[in-house]
């Protein structure tokens, strides 16, 4: 299946914001950031989530995890009752 998102201009604004937040908070720790799911298949809908995997050099400390979560929630909005046990 061909990836139809060949141009950074096609990436949703929220993805650009996530990348900016991650680069700021995780300076020097990022090994890679990967967009996957419906966004990579050009099938985003208004109610779609955006799936991004961030690989870091080492496990993040709790305060960094909390700050990253706080800032990402500011751009994504309410998440409901999502399970966040992996952040503990």
pTM of the full structure: 0.68
Q: What is the pLDDT of residues 1-26, one digit of tens each?
A: 334 444 444 467 888 899 999 999 99
Q: How many CB atoms lie within 10 A of CB 29?
A: 16
pLDDT tens for residues 29-63? 999 999 888 878 888 777 777 889 999 999 999 99
The dihedral sign for the CA sequence 14, 18, 21, 27: negative
The CATH topology of domain 8-87 is Beta Polymerase; domain 2 (3.30.460)
- Name residue 36's beta-bridge partners: 51
Query: Which tokens hold the place of 26?
Result: 């995780």
Residue 15 tokens, joined: 């993805």
* Residue ranges of domains in the chain: 8-87
């Amino acid at each position: 299946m061909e990836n139809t998102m060949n141009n950074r201009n096609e990436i949703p604004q929220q993805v650009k914001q996530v990348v900016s937040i991650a680069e700021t908070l995780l300076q020097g720790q990022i090994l890679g950031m990967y967009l996957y799911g419906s966004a990579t298949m050009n099938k985003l809908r208004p109610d779609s989530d955006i799936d991004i995997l961030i690989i870091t050099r080492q496990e993040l400390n709790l305060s960094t995890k909390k700050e990253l979560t706080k800032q990402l929630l500011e751009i994504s909005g309410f998440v409901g009752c999502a399970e966040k046990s992996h952040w503990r």
